[in-house]
Amino acid sequence: MNPKKLKFKIFYLSILFIALFSLIDRIVLDNLLFGFPNELEWDTSPWFNFLEKRRRIQFSENEKGALIVGSSVALYSSLPERMNEKLKSSSIRTEFYSHPALTPSDLYFYKEDIVSKKPKLVFFVLNPADLQLDFLISEKESEARLAQYKQNLIYQEKSIIDFQNLEYSENTLNDVSAKTRHQNRMIYPAQYLREKYQNILNIGKSAFLSLLSRSLFLVVRYRSFLYDPMDAWIENHLRSGRSYHYYTGIIPEEGIYLRGWAKPEFSIDCEIKNGVFEESVFFQEKGTTLRIWGESKPILFDKTFPKSGWHTIRFDVPEMSDKIKLRIASDKKISSLQVDSRIFGTEEIYGIRLSQNFCRNKIRKHISYIRIPGIDDTRISKMDDQTYSKDYTERIYGYKGESSKMSRLVTLRMAKIKLASSPKFFTWSELEYLKKAIVYLETQGIRVILVNSPENPFEREVYESSPWYKGYISYLENLGTDKYKFKNAVSDFTDKRSFLDPHHLTYQASEKSSDLYADWILETLTEK
């Protein structure tokens, strides 16, 4: 064959292959992935859920749309369904535009997409933890704190912090952002590559090529969560709901722990199909006896199981109804410390674990942004100060054994202690990105409310009286112009029992904050 013809044929086939691959990648894969039913629950597959959620956001012409933007701090302090109920008479509707670890730099890179949704208001819930405070702490300081952690030395950070070094490491931030940070690599790699082209080249060719491949090909960008919605669908429809993260079934009257553990005895309103009860339950210990009563107190099920693990419970329901109230009791009381000592700092008592959609016939879609109320939250509001302090210290800062990792919350506390020693306020790239994003949104005619979200008083006291913190609040107050408002929610949450950790609110506290946020949104969008 003529060499020129051979070269042309190779070139032609290469172009054809790239075109075909691009068609499959950009159209077929994209439509298949995001067209698949999303049955994932709260706090699972955050990047898929965010991308899928924001595709569905749209406001009609007669609605005043408000986007609730922020990290998990926003997710744990806002209940859009509750807010919308309060705002519906004013034609205002809120939607989440949020995901875990959303920072001001993310807001900056999302700004064009946010504008495309045509909201009247961006309601940005910001916490100092969202400013990537980690990069105030050097590797040497982190290693010293890890050594303390392994010895279970708590609240002794000052002894290993270098107070002479108050610099924010932008170089380390750039390195992490280019090499491992999920948002930069999965959600906006092309925009990030354009913005930070020279910095990324300086970091290394491999970082540049990785971001380039993720910019060009969705299969590379999405590969870490490609199967998540399919796995959830298969578990819900073809299996028995035994493998899951958070419970999505009917909630018993006594409440449910988020991971599906019920109290040793509980009442529940069950949805029944064809007069038969058939569900899976998990026994931690062998020899567990399970008893189930109907509404008129007859025993419907009574059996002792010689083996631990998952078992199917099946019996006929005498009343021909699609619902029945059941009383369920197990004779074994299980310590939460026996199941997983990392979840709670003080002991909770479980009974059995329920399958994911226990007593619910219909598998629901689009629930990944609906927060689940659990005993994990209500237990905290019932604690006295001493019990809360013990539980909090063990849960957040206590050593959990060789297999455990030191929580990022430990590093954040160190960073706040370090900021408290600064004689003045100073900024870094995250705060500068915040200003750029707000200026852009204002120029597009969008109102912005920036909320300084609540912090646990126990953590806030570390630095709230410092020059840096006071300067930070002043900086936030003066970020925008006539379309900008700053709201400080700190003083509305002075009870530490409102907090699961340094900055996430309990479900009960989020009801209060949702009402407060709704009032601020209403006030802003009804102004003349």
pLDDT, tens digit only, all 528 positions of the chain = 567 676 667 766 777 777 777 788 888 899 999 999 999 999 999 999 999 999 999 999 899 999 999 999 999 999 999 999 999 999 999 999 999 999 999 999 999 999 999 999 999 999 999 999 999 999 999 999 999 999 999 999 999 999 999 999 999 999 999 999 999 999 999 999 999 999 999 999 999 999 999 999 999 999 999 999 999 999 999 999 999 999 999 999 999 999 999 999 999 999 998 889 999 999 999 999 999 999 877 899 999 999 999 999 999 988 778 899 999 999 999 999 999 888 999 999 999 999 999 999 999 999 999 999 999 999 999 999 999 999 999 999 998 877 677 889 999 999 999 999 999 999 999 999 999 999 999 999 999 999 999 999 999 999 999 999 999 999 999 999 999 999 999 999 999 999 999 999 999 999 999 999 999 999 999 986
Final residue belonging to a domain, choices 328, 348, 363: 363
Q: What is the CATH number of the domain that holds 288?
A: 2.60.120
Nearest to 443 by CA among 195, 114, 192: 114
- pLDDT single digits (tens) 69-109: 999 999 999 999 999 999 999 999 999 999 999 999 999 99
Identify whether residues 65 and 31 lie together within a single domain.
Answer: no
Sheet holding 484-488, edge to edge: 92-98, 64-70, 121-126, 447-452, 484-488
Residue 433 within a domain: yes
At which of 363, 398, 416 does a domain end? 363
Q: Which residues of 30-45 are buried (b: 16+ CB within 10 A; e: fewer)?
A: beebeeeebbbbbbbb
Question: Are 131 and 68 within one domain?
Answer: yes
Considering the domain architecture, whether residues 74 and 96 belong to the same structural domain is answered as yes
Domain span including residue 6 = 1-35
Where is the domain boundary, 303, 331, 363?
Answer: 363
CA distance linking residue 129 with residue 135, whole number of Å: 11
Closest CA to 49 of 85, 79, 82, 75: 75
Return mean pLDDT, the chain.
Answer: 94
Residues 6+ apart with CB under 8 A from 419: 133, 136, 463, 466, 468, 469
Q: Could you tell me the CATH number of the domain that includes residue 423? A: 3.40.50.1110
pLDDT at position 18 is: 75
Say how far residue 152 (Cα) sits from the centre of its chain: 28
443 falls within a domain? yes
E strand spans, 72-191:
92-98, 121-126
Per residue in 423-449, pLDDT tens?
999 999 999 999 999 999 999 999 999
- How would you classify the pairing of strands 447-452 and 121-126? parallel
Q: Is 159 part of any domain? A: no
Please tell me whether residues 356 and 422 are part of one structural domain.
no
- On whether residue 399 sits in a domain, the answer given is no
Q: Does the residue 155 lie in any domain?
A: no
